Structure 1
Amino acid sequence: MFYRFFCAVLLPILFLITTIEVNAHEIQKERISGADRFEVAVNVSKKGWPNSSETIVLTNNIAYADALSAAPLAYKLNSPILLTQPNKLTLATKKEIARLHPKKVIIVGGTGSISNSAANEVKNMGIGIERVSGKDRFEVAYKISKKLSNKGKAIIAYGMNFPDALAIAPYAAQEETPIFLTLKDKLPDDTKKGLREKNVNHTIIVGGEGSVGKGVETALPSPVRIGGKNRFEVASNIIRKLNLPTENAFLSTGMTFADALTGSVLAAKQNAPILLTLPDRLPSESKEVIYDKNINNFTVLGGTGSVGDKVLDIPHRWEITKPSGTALQGFASATSVFPGDKLNLYIHSVEPYKIQVFRMGYYEGEGAKLVDTISNLQPKKQSFAADPSTMKANWSPAVSLKIKDSWQSGVYLGKLTNSSQKESYITFVVKDKLPQASIGVMIATNTYQAYNNWGGKSLYGYNSTNSDAAVNLSFDRPYNNGRGSGEFFAYEYNMIRWMEKQGYEMTYFTDTDIDNGLLSNLNSKLLLIPGHAEYWTKAMRDSIQYETKNRMNLAVFNANIAYWQVRLQQKDRLMIGYKYRANEDPYMKTTPLEVTTKFRDNPVNRPEKEVLGLMYSGIPEQKQQPLVISNPAHWLYNGTGLKKGDKIPGVVGGEVDSYDGQMKGVEVVAASPVSLYGEDSMSHVIWYNKPSGGKTFAVGTFYWNWFLDSFGHESFAKPNKTIEKITTNSLIKLLKE
């Protein structure tokens, strides 16, 4: 369903007409099903051969081996493939043979596959019989090849399983290319003979080296391999590598062969490839090629027991696979907005593009929900000459986005996609007007900006031009990191996915919102900091410190928090941070408590441990080290079965915090040895009972959230039940007290 809206923006902004597409990736599907595989084959036949067929190919319904190479022959003869039991035709198959009035039925396989009694049933219908058989599947494939034209090309597939051969069957059929079968490590004699007789000078290997080994590959003429880590990826890669048309695609279960076999010839007739799926869900490999090729029309082979009804309920793809670089970038006019607000999006694009707006979360593992699409946006080139004093992008708005009242509080990504399918993000947060959720989630947008070097500068020398860090940074510029999302995917997204999966009620806001006093109006019991919130303003520190004394509890699932003080000015669009040059900060003389230095240093003198119970201590020399249990009797470990000295590998690293023994009420529950700058030290996990009554749980490491949900960090971590249990125990206590 499409909605049109008109957005007129006065000089110097051009008049825009945009289209809202609520269901921009609407899937159209037709199902060819039946009570069993025999009926599915019959209904495929009725679909592709509505009147008659001079020839029918008949195969055994359970012996896939003989049938693997049959599709090219069936296609050449414009014949459907029907199935039979070994000793008797099913009633459905017999009726379909009668309906088609063929002159000949070609039986694929010897009498062990289809007996003479079944063949005689066909003869008794007045139909001629031809049998293609052999001593084994390899000879059957060879004999089928003899009936195909000689074009110098062949396909080699593993003969001891079915999916790879059937996935390429529509292509092989259209090309009249024989499908030869092989063992993993040995090329059978009949296959060798077929390659010689067909004068094959080019071979396509279907499947990875686990199916067709390297030794077989070296024995083939001019081999090209289409592999993959599993059958689903092989089928997807066939579409990619052979650049197959994708206006329509067939979808079949990848767990049995019958539907893909009988459907392969119809797929070839319709110039469509075959994709494979699990019965209850679409594998990521199949899903990705559907996204990449924008496949919208499907013919589903088999009943719901083979391919479930919800398999093709495909959400829009929010992940970026083709980063745009500088050809497509953008930023929002505010870090956060309320429903009903308008948000200006400043976008540079050299090609037409669209915007898909996603709310990020768990969503049954999909990770996001599409809430809006704006299509048919025309190129708008912007200047990349940043203001040298602030790195501000002096861009004009491209789109005015209305935040709908129905949009739930959360982190939103506007995914930009241009006509070359290159992609980038714009990130913003939607707040609650009357937040009632028990958990408030702080998104660390100051830290996003501190590390952002768009225009050439960040607050760090390592990624700034001439290694000269900036002092003033504008929020009016794209994020160079996270493909436009800033630091969101580093740690925050993992925590949000896990929290929403568990069903916690949360309301979201940014550093800017806390700077403007949002916490005082928040009814939440818990403030949750999931990300690397290294940069706070004085107003943020004042508010968080005050509110978490006794009115709210605090959960910190990261490290190096509240380390640097910064200021926000120019209606919160400019962040100031002198850092190591704090003596140059003009506030040193006028307003010393707002000097942009470390909170723990003069003249601010507010060490972060006053709020957190621990403080930043450094960057470990080793990337990942184990979390070491030091106090297993603590209630945080209830249900874990951990003992003192037990280790959870990989949790500690990136940057770490430590408890210095000075804050009363701190309980150390894990003490993990680390080496910091050549010296032995500790990374701590603590529970802090504040004298005024507030509670704080702090994990003291960057990587904790990856062990709750490892999305995007799978090579470093995987979900850990013990970390999950400790986290759950902490949240129960923090939300109760």
Structure 2
Amino acid sequence: MGLSVMLVGYVSDEDYVALADVLVELERDGRTVAVVRSAARGGVWADIEPGPCRVTLVKAGCGSKSVDITADPDKPYHFRMLSDRVLGYAWPKWVRSGERAEFRVHSVEPYRLTLWRYGCRKELVRLLGWFDEHGPRAVMQITPDGDYTRTGVAWNRQGYGSPHHTQFATAPQRSGLYYFRALTESGAAFSFPWVVAPSEPRASVGVLASTNTWNAYNNFGGRSNYINPNRLPATPTVNARLDLDRYTGGALGTWGFPDAEYEPLSFERPEPGDHIPEHVEVNDPIEGRLPPTMAPAEWR
């Protein structure tokens, strides 16, 4: 690398894992000033001067995106890309009967969305429809750059400006644990929970359900109470066993920081650990490590 080559930033996925060989184009005033590829640790090095530029990132298996940044060698920018997979969440994730929530789904192909109530039996409530658009990969989402575990992923904000194409569902009158189930044309599936409380007391006994534990175990974006609980490291992960304090910092490596150093964890993120496969019934064993601590356990 020449002396004028600067570190523009790093590229990572939704797990804050470094992405190598990402094709990166940098533009200024409508002209391409550099075309480079990210290095093994996700670093983007380019022979450019500091200052504003538009950066476009493309990698097979991830959603392409363009962002406007100010390149600064003293402040490497953290580009975040999102894998081609089906994900989703309701926002808010908890409502009262009759209230609305927005379903926010990431898919690179058309998908069918249904709403179910998960009690002793799984009951279909209604078909919400097929979701697609005329453009290629038009129901794909992108994530903010940087550490969005603190602020949320803000889906349905980029490219969802039409007031005529809303994605809301009204909570049924019957309270309980509900699930949205997304199924794509190719058969990929993802389900995500929705807690519906009664609009007013209807029984002498109430059941409390807490989503706090789900959020504590959810490491979407690269952080949870157990992975990078205080903040994201300065550089993306290449090998978790070699890079993360959880595995290299001793018994208290993850929890040995002063209380004030622990950044917040936003609820406004998809929770892959809450997914329940379509064939699973309430009396089946809970498989995996995360599901017993999250919504699949609440259902049981």
- The structure with the greater share of residues assigned to helix is 1
TM-score by length of 2: 0.49
Of structures 1 and 2, the one with the larger relative CO (CA 8 A, separation 6+) is: 2
- The structure with the greater share of residues assigned to strand is 2
